[in-house]
């Protein structure tokens, strides 16, 4: 009896490639990625820098899959999220961003 899994990869923002597979029980993350054919679309540099995960958690290629698992191929970040947030905050200004951006008229600061 085979189990159903999916392999997902996003080569660029707003583009998602998803492949549904039926594999034998005991199939590993690495085997599933090979069977999906997604590696054929990637350059050797992308393959080298990519990391693998199952349902948003990092996984090794030798991890055994269970039914309905979602294998994800991650590409490296181009910008550190902390730096991007700081730059976005600097552009927007303190009054239009953050927890207290929408205050009631006449309310105390922080409420």
Residue spans per domain, the chain: 3-74
| Conformational region of residue 32, where left means phi above 0, alpha means psi within -120 to 50, and beta covers everything else | alpha
First to last CA, the chain: 59
Q: How many CA atoms lie within 13 A of 65 on its CB side?
A: 29
| pLDDT tier for residue 28 given thresholds of 50, 70 and 90 | very high
Q: What's the CA gap between 58 and 37, in Å, rounded?
A: 21
| Residue 89: per-residue pLDDT | 81
Least confident range of 26-30, 64-68, 76-80 = 76-80
CATH match of 3-74 with 3.40.640.10 = no
Q: What's the CA gap between 50 and 53, in Å, rounded?
A: 10
Tell me the whole-structure pTM to 2 decimals: 0.70
| pLDDT tier for residue 72 given thresholds of 50, 70 and 90 | very high
């Amino acid at each position: 009896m085979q189990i159903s899994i999916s392999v997902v990869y996003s080569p660029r923002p707003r583009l998602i490639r998803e492949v549904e597979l039926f594999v034998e029980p005991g199939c590993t993350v690495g085997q599933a990625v090979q069977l999906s054919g997604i590696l054929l679309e990637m350059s050797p540099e992308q393959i080298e820098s990519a990391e693998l995960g199952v349902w948003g958690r990092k996984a090794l290629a030798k991890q055994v899959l269970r039914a309905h698992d979602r294998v994800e191929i991650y590409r490296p970040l181009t910008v550190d999220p902390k730096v991007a947030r700081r730059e976005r905050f600097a552009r927007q200004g303190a009054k239009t961003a953050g927890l207290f951006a929408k205050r009631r008229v006449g309310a105390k600061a922080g409420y």
